[in-house]
Amino acid sequence: MKCYIENCEKPAKAKGLCARHYMLIKRNGGLIYKRPPDNGRRKLAEYRIWAHIKERCTNPNTKCYKHYGEREIKMCDRWINNFDNFLEDMGKRPSSKHQIDREDNNGNYEPSNCRWTTQLINLRNKRTTLTNEQIIKIKLLLLQGISNIIIATEMKIHPTKISNIKRGYSYADQVKGIYPSK
């Protein structure tokens, strides 16, 4: 997002202003800050989703940045500073239960890679979701007596996933996050 001051092309840092204009206001009170009209867009769920995507891809101070911006996942140029373009390309959410999802988890947020999906479909499309081939490989390594920690390190997953496979929890249970009670 760019600074709201006319003819300023610098990126906005705080309250929609670049660092220079923000400091001028803070020191001198010289400019009166007014948030540009949003015509009620900020209340839309789609707007909040768009803003959250932008935040996690661009702001190193957010908790999610390490999973997005640090991995060089970006929001396309068409969307980054224009919510209207995002809404035009994605449309409204089909229901309040729908979430945005990237078909390719290593790809960027762009029209060709994004869709509205349900939580269950979104959970299946995670970097941490194991494929059937990975589960078979884990089971073979366990049969060879290799420890959970070594397997987890090699496959770059959390050791509890190995433990769950060892206990016989199914792939479907892992995707849903549901494990049988003991």
> What are the tens digits of pLDDT across the range 18-68?
888 777 777 665 555 445 556 667 788 899 999 999 999 988 888 888 888
In sign, the C-alpha dihedral spanning 64, 176, 174, 101 is negative
Query: Are residues 47 and 118 located together in one domain of the fold?
Result: yes
Query: Are residues 8 and 76 located together in one domain of the fold?
Result: no
Structural domain harbouring 159: 132-176
Tell me the pLDDT band of 182, cut-offs 50, 70 and 90: very low
Rounded to an integer, what distance in angstroms lies between the CA atom of residue 72 and that of residue 61?
15
Minimum mean pLDDT range among 4-13, 28-37, 69-78, 163-172: 28-37
Query: Are residues 112 and 140 located together in one domain of the fold?
Result: no
Residue 181 lies in a domain: no
The two structure tokens encoding residue 5: 């001051």
Tell me the pLDDT band of 179, cut-offs 50, 70 and 90: very low
Query: Are residues 111 and 139 located together in one domain of the fold?
Result: no
Query: Are residues 144 and 157 located together in one domain of the fold?
Result: yes
Answer with the one of 86, 102, 124 that is the final residue of a domain: 124
Rounded to an integer, what distance in angstroms lies between the CA atom of residue 182 and that of residue 10?
58
Arithmetic mean of pLDDT, 125-143: 78
Rounded to an integer, what distance in angstroms lies between the CA atom of residue 149 and that of residue 128?
16
Query: Are residues 31 and 62 located together in one domain of the fold?
Result: no
pLDDT of res. 63? 86
Residue 79 lies in a domain: yes
Residue 80 lies in a domain: yes
The larger pLDDT score, comparing residue 139 to residue 167, is at: 139
pLDDT of res. 174? 47
In the chain, the number of structural domains is: 3
What's the predicted TM-score (pTM) here? 0.54
